[in-house]
């Protein structure tokens, strides 16, 4: 790779804290270590398709390390292989991937760094197969991207959710209520499990463990018998009862992932009140967990990811995702990442720690063991 290489970067999918830390790290490493030039595409893949970009230099990233969001903007609807075009009050969907390739070549890019989650990496893998030199950087508050132990953005979201659980405790104690806090996470329970454990929740419900209403109500009654006249339930938006379905709040046809989950906490609160007569209240954190300044951990992790992505460009290691495994950085093939979701393993230490400290996961231990064996067979 020539020391005068020209690099393109963009941020795709939902925003999260730490994006600017990655952008800053990429730009500074490219310039300081390799004398490369960098351009930033605006609003995710849309910027590459419509040729919206800005030249990135040291001045363009001054003061952004601590800022949430992304200075480049983002989009979770601009799939280059299925791009929505308004037409007569509706949408038509076009494959505009050839325009991405064309603009990549016209701009004289030597590599493209895609910062995003699973949707972004699916498209990145397809573009890599079309011949573009692409490197992925793993981003999502859901921590559900396959191949890496942790995505940047997760720690910041976990801290925000934990602080919310902390604050809910006081009103729960004061009014002797069951308080249900619903957090994002889509089809994986990392955020609910971690924030529920860190915040001292009494029950945590995650998509990987279909919950049993009777088991939940038994736990609440047990706490009351022991003189604990309030309870905290943390529930992931993708959680569902045994034999039931996830609650869909809306669908967005123009999005590659059209389903938007949300509202399971309201359903659960009504059921708990009906069975136990215990007053139950709901707080849905929603996009609150996406906002704010990144934690020091995410600032450092984002910086590490950005530095490593440029080092990979210099080494010519393309078609790969930067990944954290243990404490060390490595990389995995985009072909192995695309289309996969990293869910909570029921053998994970967070599950064991939750059970050991008396936290309920919404099912009996016997049923949890059955689910663990079923998951083991599926992943074998």
For residue range 141-160, what is the model confidence (pLDDT) as tens digits?
999 999 999 999 999 999 99
Where residue 256 falls among pLDDT bands split at 50, 70, 90?
low
User: What does the alpha-carbon distance between residue 101 and residue 48 come to, in Å, rounded to a whole number?
Assistant: 9
pLDDT at 3 over 70: no
| Helix H or strand E encompassing 213 | helix 213-225
User: What does the alpha-carbon distance between residue 343 and residue 331 come to, in Å, rounded to a whole number?
Assistant: 19
User: What does the alpha-carbon distance between residue 290 and residue 16 come to, in Å, rounded to a whole number?
Assistant: 5
Task: Say which DSSP state 293 is in.
Answer: P
For the structural domain made of 157-291+345-379, what CATH number should be given? 3.40.50.460
Give 212-235 pLDDT, tens digit per residue. Answer: 999 999 999 999 999 999 999 999
Q: Where are the domains of the chain?
A: 6-152+294-337, 157-291+345-379
Give 12-37 pLDDT, tens digit per residue. Answer: 998 999 999 999 999 999 999 999 99
Q: Residues 230, 176: contact at Cβ < 8 Å?
A: yes
Q: What is the pLDDT of residue 91?
A: 87
Q: What is the pLDDT of residue 87?
A: 86
Q: Which residues pair with 139 in a beta bridge?
A: 152
Bigger pLDDT: 257 vs 313: 313
CATH architecture of the domain 6-152+294-337 equals 3-Layer(aba) Sandwich (3.40)
Which residue among 15, 43, 142, 298 is the active-site one? 142
Give 40-61 pLDDT, tens digit per residue. Answer: 999 999 999 999 999 999 999 9
b or e along 243-252 (b: 16 or more beta carbons within 10 Å of the residue's beta carbon)? Answer: eeebbeeeee
Using CA atoms, how far residue 298 sits from 82, 136, 139, 150, 294, in Å, is 32, 17, 10, 10, 6
User: What does the alpha-carbon distance between residue 129 and residue 122 come to, in Å, rounded to a whole number?
Assistant: 11
What is the average pLDDT score of the chain? 94
Q: What is the pLDDT of residue 67?
A: 96
Residue whose C-alpha is closest to residue 13's, from 138, 100, 103: 138
Please give the structure tokens belonging to residue 302: 């984002």
Where residue 123 falls among pLDDT bands split at 50, 70, 90?
very high
Cα torsion for 368, 224, 158, 325, to the nearest 10°?
-30
Q: Residues 105, 82: contact at Cβ < 8 Å?
A: no
144 catalytic residue (yes or no): no
Q: What is the pLDDT of residue 146?
A: 96
C-alpha angle 148-249-147 in degrees, rounded to nearest 5:
5
Q: What is the pLDDT of residue 254?
A: 67
Give the pLDDT mean for 172-192. 94
Q: Residues 70, 56: contact at Cβ < 8 Å?
A: no
pLDDT at 272 over 60: yes
């Amino acid at each position: 790779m020539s020391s005068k290489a020209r690099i393109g970067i963009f941020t795709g999918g939902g925003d999260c804290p730490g994006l600017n830390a990655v952008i800053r790290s990429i730009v500074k490493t490219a310039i300081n270590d390799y004398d490369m030039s960098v351009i930033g595409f605006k609003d995710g893949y849309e910027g590459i398709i419509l040729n919206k970009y800005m030249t990135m230099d040291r001045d363009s990233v001054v003061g952004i390390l601590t800022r949430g969001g992304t200075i480049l903007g983002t989009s979770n609807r601009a799939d280059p292989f299925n791009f929505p075009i308004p037409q007569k009050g509706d949408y038509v969907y076009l494959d505009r991937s050839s325009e991405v390739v064309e603009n990549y070549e016209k701009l004289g890019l030597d590599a493209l760094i895609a910062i995003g989650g699973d949707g972004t990496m699916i498209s990145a893998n397809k573009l890599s197969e079309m011949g573009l030199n692409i490197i992925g950087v793993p981003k999502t508050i859901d921590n559900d991207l396959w191949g890496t132990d942790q995505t940047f953005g997760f720690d910041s979201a976990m801290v925000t959710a934990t602080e919310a659980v902390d604050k809910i405790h006081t009103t729960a104690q004061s009014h002797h209520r069951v308080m249900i806090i619903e957090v994002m996470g889509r089809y994986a329970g990392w955020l609910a499990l971690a924030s529920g454990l860190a915040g001292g929740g009494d029950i945590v419900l995650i998509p990987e463990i279909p919950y049993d209403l009777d088991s939940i109500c038994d736990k609440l009654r047990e706490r009351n018998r022991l003189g604990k006249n309030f309870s905290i339930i943390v529930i992931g938006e993708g959680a569902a009862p045994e034999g039931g379905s996830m609650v869909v709040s809306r669908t967005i046809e123009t999005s590659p992932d059209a389903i938007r989950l949300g509202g399971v906490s309201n359903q659960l609160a009504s059921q708990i009140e009906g069975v136990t007569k215990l007053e139950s209240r709901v707080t849905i954190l929603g996009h609150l967990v996406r906002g704010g300044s990144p934690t020091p951990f995410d600032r450092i992790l984002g910086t590490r990811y950005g530095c490593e992505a440029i080092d990979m460009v210099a080494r010519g290691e393309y078609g790969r995702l930067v990944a954290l495994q243990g404490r060390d950085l490595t990389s995995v093939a985009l072909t192995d990442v695309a289309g996969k979701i990293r869910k909570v393993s029921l053998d994970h230490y967070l599950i064991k720690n939750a059970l050991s400290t008396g936290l309920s996961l919404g099912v009996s231990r016997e049923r949890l063991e059955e689910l663990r064996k079923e998951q083991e067979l599926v992943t074998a």
